[in-house]
Chain A
Amino acid sequence: DAGVIQSPRHEVTEMGQEVTLRCKPISGHNSLFWYRQTMMRGLELLIYFNNNVPIDDSGMPEDRFSAKMPNASFSTLKIQPSEPRDSAVYFCASSKDRALNSPLHFGNGTRLTVT
């Protein structure tokens, strides 16, 4: 299995631009998660989906952030407009289901720099 695949690995953009991060979960996994990691705040859960439906988006910082999962094999996290404080590593993870005993498998992340 290829694991969770994220693209791009690195993104550098100017303040005000739209940024789209992409994720392909592990085949057969029904739950998908977006996390953000920074030195100051550590690893924060932004949103998670189960069977393509958003279950908990309470971690999404503000309306500039949106996430979609149009099908079981693809998800996007969009920031519009981007700001320098959005600079972070964004991780996507998937698990077999939403049960509490189902480990998450992480992608290698997208390092976002907003100048």
Chain B
Amino acid sequence: SQELEQSPQSLIVQEGKNLTINCTSSKTLYGLYWYKQKYGEGLIFLMMLQKGGEEKSHEKITAKLDEKKQQSSLHITASQPSHAGIYLCGADGTSGSRLTFGEGTQLTVNP
């Protein structure tokens, strides 16, 4: 099965600081998804990456998939309290099985 490791497990930053969250796979990634979850709510889809070297941005959040397609990073520029939550990476399995997820990174942004 596809195993995903996220780091760090938790992160506390001051408002305005930049930060990076990493997601590493034990196998080649054929589809890598980033989601955000707020406490008590469902997961919100952020971005999907498929090609090696691909990079996508949405507002102040940028996600990249490395050339070997085994690691992805999520970068937030000039963080704000609204960015706080749990960020999860998810990936499809090579056998066609659908999304499995990493354990998540808990982000706190202090004003």
Contact = CB atoms under 8 A, between A and B. Distances in A.
Decide if the interface of chain A is mainly helix, strand, loop or mixed.
Answer: strand
B99 A108 contact: no
A101 B101 CA distance: 15
Given A100-B92, A101-B50, A45 B42 contact: no
B7 interface: no
Contact of B30 (A56, A98, A100): A100
Given A103-B33, A103-B45, A48 B50 contact: no
Interface residues of A, number: 21
A109 interface: yes
Interface string B19-41: 00000000000110101000011
A101 B48 contact: yes
B98 interface: yes
Contacts of B31: 100-101
Nearest to B45: A103
Given A100-B30, A106-B42, A109-B42, A45 B98 contact: yes
B42 A91 contact: yes
Given A42-B103, A101-B50, A107 B96 contact: no
A101 B97 CA distance: 12
B99 A104 contact: yes
Contacts of A109: 40-42
A112 B33 CA distance: 27
B78 interface: no
28 contacts: A4-B42, A42-B103, A43-B88, A43-B104, A45-B97, A45-B99, A48-B98, A56-B97, A91-B42, A91-B43, A93-B42, A93-B43, A100-B92, A101-B31, A103-B45, A103-B48, A104-B43, A104-B45, A104-B90, A105-B45, A106-B35, A106-B42, A106-B43, A106-B44, A108-B41, A109-B41, A109-B42, A111-B40
